[in-house]
Amino acid sequence: MLSVLRRSWSSFRRPVSQVCASRAMAATDNNLGAPVSIGHGAEQRASKRLRVDILPTASAEAAVSQGTAGLKAAEPAKRAAALGDVTIMPLHNKSSEEEFDRVVSVVATTLAGGKVVGLPTDTIYGVACLAQLTPAINRIYAIKGRDGAKPIAICVAETSDLAKYATVTVSQELLDELLPGPVTLCFKRSSALNPELNPTSDTIGIRIPDNRFIRALTAACDTALALTSANLSGQPSSVEVNDFKEIWTDLGVIVDAGCRGHSRLGSTVVDLSQPSTFLIVRAGDSAKETIACLLRHGLTQRE
């Protein structure tokens, strides 16, 4: 099932900026199974108050399947007096296909258990849960301290999935040009979508990030993910996992794919709910390119 998503890793990682390099976590090796040391200086001292498990994939699988007992058994040498439990799975561009698929499996299992996870996208880091699980949706709002009136977008794996959750008003050619990419497209929602997700809104924002991991994960879950930024509400977006350390202990697992780049803008949000027109709700990454694409396909911009 994942073979169609196995694309070049060049589209998976964005260039690491100087600001990320100065704050990056030091790694003992650049592959999935190697332990990584978290932070330095004050950040390192603060992390000692947590039980942080940066696990090889096999150990992470044991932790997810066996709960806390499995986590403690995975790497006993890493135990520390803790305020909470944190499991971080490194994901790098030298990972084998088997290792990559195993990370997908661990995170999919965590999501199926109703938990919220931290993961990379093509723009910034996000937190996600299964869109059809209302308790998990509520958990995202609680973790972020997010206003309940603010909607959360969903993420799907392929453009063919959009019609399951929304009334699509644009051509397949336009969808294929915009997606996957750093854009959220808003359409009228369908009755198939969880009615408790954004219950006061008749539209839904849908993403297909240009990120191999999150697309493979969504395909493995075989349902939409609810996806929003990994941060406390009102705080800057996160381009590396240390940026959202405040919410680590609330997440079932965190996937660390390194720095996502220098931009914290997130995706460009476009309202396409009215046929033949578009409205830029939020100008994010690639906003100019997105507008040019929409105009080229004959849509009229609303103000």
Residue-wise pLDDT for 198-235, tens only, equals 999 999 999 999 999 999 999 999 999 999 999 999 99
Report d(CA 62, CA 187) in Å as an integer.
40
Cβ atoms of residues 256 and 90 within 8 Å: yes
pLDDT tens digits for range 139-171: 999 999 999 999 999 999 999 999 999 999 999
Query: Which of 196, 86, 94, 205 is closest to 141 using CA atoms?
Result: 196
Helix (H, G, I), strand (E, B) or coil at 74: helix
Residues β-bridged to residue 254: 88, 118
Which pLDDT belongs to residue 261?
A: 75
pTM of the full structure? 0.76
Share of the chain above pLDDT 90, in %: 64
* Residue found under tokens 């849908």: 206
Which pLDDT belongs to residue 264?
A: 83
The set of residues, in sequence order, having a beta carbon less than 8 Å from that of 199 and lying 6+ positions away, is: none
CA 71 to chain centre: 23
Residue 27 has pLDDT above 80, yes or no: no
Tokens of residue 157, six digits: 């794996």
Cβ atoms of residues 242 and 43 within 8 Å: yes
Report d(CA 131, CA 197) in Å as an integer.
7
Peptide bond into 180 cis (omega under 30): yes
Cβ atoms of residues 120 and 108 within 8 Å: no
Mean predicted lDDT score pLDDT of the chain: 79
Cβ atoms of residues 255 and 213 within 8 Å: yes
* Residue found under tokens 């944190």: 86
* Residue found under tokens 């973790």: 143
Report d(CA 11, CA 201) in Å as an integer.
33
Cβ atoms of residues 45 and 80 within 8 Å: no
Confidence of residue 95 (pLDDT cuts 50, 70, 90): confident
The set of residues, in sequence order, having a beta carbon less than 8 Å from that of 164 and lying 6+ positions away, is: 156, 190, 192, 224
- Burial (CB count <10 Å: 0-12, 13-18, 19+), residue 8: exposed
* Residue found under tokens 């799975």: 89
Rounded-to-5 percentages of helix, strand, coil across the chain = 35, 20, 45
Which pLDDT belongs to residue 112?
A: 98
pLDDT tens digits for range 45-91: 333 345 555 555 445 555 554 443 333 323 322 322 233 578 899 99
- Please state, in angstroms and as integers, the Cα–Cα distance from residue 244 to each residue in 13, 229, 250, following that order: 19, 10, 11
- Please state, in angstroms and as integers, the Cα–Cα distance from residue 97 to each residue in 24, 104, 214, following that order: 25, 11, 15
